[in-house]
Amino acid sequence: MVGGGIVGCATAFFAAAAGLRVVVLERRPALATLTTPASTGAFRLQFDNPEEIAIVREGIELFDDFAARTGLDGWDLRLRHGGYLFCSLTDATVERSRHLVERQRSWGLDDVELLSGDEARSRWPYLSPDVRGARYRAADGWLDVKRLAVGYATAASVTRAGTGSASFCTGVEVLGLDLGADGSVLRGVETSAGTVATPAAVLATGPFLARTAALAGVPLDIRPTRRQKLVIPEMPDIAQDAPMVIEEETAAHWRPAMAGCLALWTEAATPSSEATDAVPTDPAWAFGLLDPRSDHALSRVTPLWADAWQRGTLHWFQQAGQYEMTPDRRPYLGHAGPEGLWLNGGYSGHGIMTSAGGSRLVIDLLVGRADAAANPFRPDRPMTDREHDIL
């Protein structure tokens, strides 16, 4: 296993459960320290396609029963089903939400509510009078991503009857892949600490997936794209029982966290860049969320943000990571290139919520328990550009 972020840890968990002996190689000094902590830790089923609804639903079911499913008695993910509330400021997005919910119901997702603006304000009085409609699913929510990643790793490390186990090697960099004389079969992984002999390797290297796949001559279209997060540790205005509040028009959103909140804006026009550990932040991005004069200010949906801006007493800091975007915004899950090489990445911003279902699928494919032809996320699928989901 190459990569010790949340996807690598999840893969190790499912591999060990399948009876495999696993070695996880992570070049950083600790697990889950690159893109994982830069996420919001959120999960939802409000997707625009049934395949992602199914694979994320699988993960949420695991999160809800994590301690029992992993054997880690009392392990607390700090999970909260706080809900996702998508707010529309225009008739066009009200109509778009209506059509989306109709499709979701046809796929079996029947617990998304469609609300008028007045109905939404009766439940969340801090919403703007400009909100014309909303869609809401109470069972969506968020959790502590580091506790989830370390929980996967801890459970994978425990040897139980009928299972395998995982060893985690941090500070070990992968330098190459031993593909034999003709390059058709994986024989080992070459690292800064020596060569690990193995008949199979799963690459779970996030934004670096194209770079590591290239070690085996496998070309991948991965577009690392900067995403920033605003962390406000304390903000009394924020109701801590609030849902994730999202503006449909701009995708600016916030959710409670600590004694304050996390706030984000998904910059649709952000160009891709080279994968990097050091992702820079931009103060102008934060002001775009906080300044009420901005065309994507958080105050457009929740005016309390304008009051907080006016007081001028907010403390905040920024984090940044990279989404590992694919052309169709779906992950690469399955075999690619030489025999023994497997991919688990390209989650396009949905890695936390999809880590369980995607990793389980990769391991099922690897051990022959799943049909590769029926896999909608297979790396060699026909690839067409697809507009990214709003979050």
Q: What DSSP string runs through 221-261? A: --EEEEEEEEEESB-TTS-TT--EEEETTT--EEEEETBEE
Distant-in-sequence, close-in-space partners of 235: CB < 8 Å, separation ≥ 6: 259, 260, 261, 308, 314
pLDDT of amino acid 329: 94
Q: Kindly list the distances between the CA atom of residue 89 and the CA atoms of 44, 97, 118, 322, in Å, as whole numbers in the listed order.
A: 22, 12, 13, 29
What residue segments make up the domains of the chain, in order of their start?
A: 6-78+144-222+326-374, 84-137, 224-321
Q: Across the chain, what does the average pLDDT equal?
A: 96
pLDDT of amino acid 162: 67
Torsion 308-309-313-316 (CA) sign: positive
pLDDT of amino acid 298: 98
Q: With contact defined as beta carbons under 8 Å apart, do 24 and 1 qualify? A: yes
Indicate the pLDDT class of residue 390, thresholds 50, 70 and 90: low
pLDDT of amino acid 127: 98
Q: With contact defined as beta carbons under 8 Å apart, do 340 and 185 qualify? A: yes
Q: What is the number of residues in the chain?
A: 391
Burial of 242 (0-12, 13-18, 19+ CB in 10 A): middle
Kindly give the interhelix angle for 50-64 and 351-366, rounded to the nearest 10 degrees.
100
Each residue's pLDDT tens digit, 331-384: 999 999 999 999 999 999 999 999 999 999 999 999 999 999 999 999 999 988
User: Is it the case that residue 388 has pLDDT exceeding 60?
Assistant: no
Distant-in-sequence, close-in-space partners of 61: CB < 8 Å, separation ≥ 6: none
| Secondary structure class of 208 (helix, strand, coil) | helix
Point out the least confidently predicted range of 78-82, 124-128, 157-161, 243-247.
157-161
pLDDT of amino acid 325: 96
Burial of 323 (0-12, 13-18, 19+ CB in 10 A): buried
Indicate the pLDDT class of residue 155, thresholds 50, 70 and 90: very high
Each residue's pLDDT tens digit, 42-69: 999 999 999 999 999 999 999 999 999 9
Ranges of H-type helices in 248-350: 283-290, 304-311
32 phi/psi in degrees, rounded to 5: 55, 55
User: Is it the case that residue 159 has pLDDT exceeding 90?
Assistant: no
Q: With contact defined as beta carbons under 8 Å apart, do 43 and 141 qualify? A: yes
pLDDT of amino acid 385: 76
pLDDT of amino acid 386: 66
Q: What is the average pLDDT across 265-286?
A: 93
pLDDT of amino acid 389: 60
User: Is it the case that residue 249 has pLDDT exceeding 70?
Assistant: yes
Indicate the pLDDT class of residue 387, thresholds 50, 70 and 90: low
The CATH homologous superfamily for domain 6-78+144-222+326-374 is: FAD/NAD(P)-binding domain (3.50.50.60)
Q: With contact defined as beta carbons under 8 Å apart, do 285 and 318 qualify? A: yes
List residues bridging with 133 in a β-sheet: 88, 116
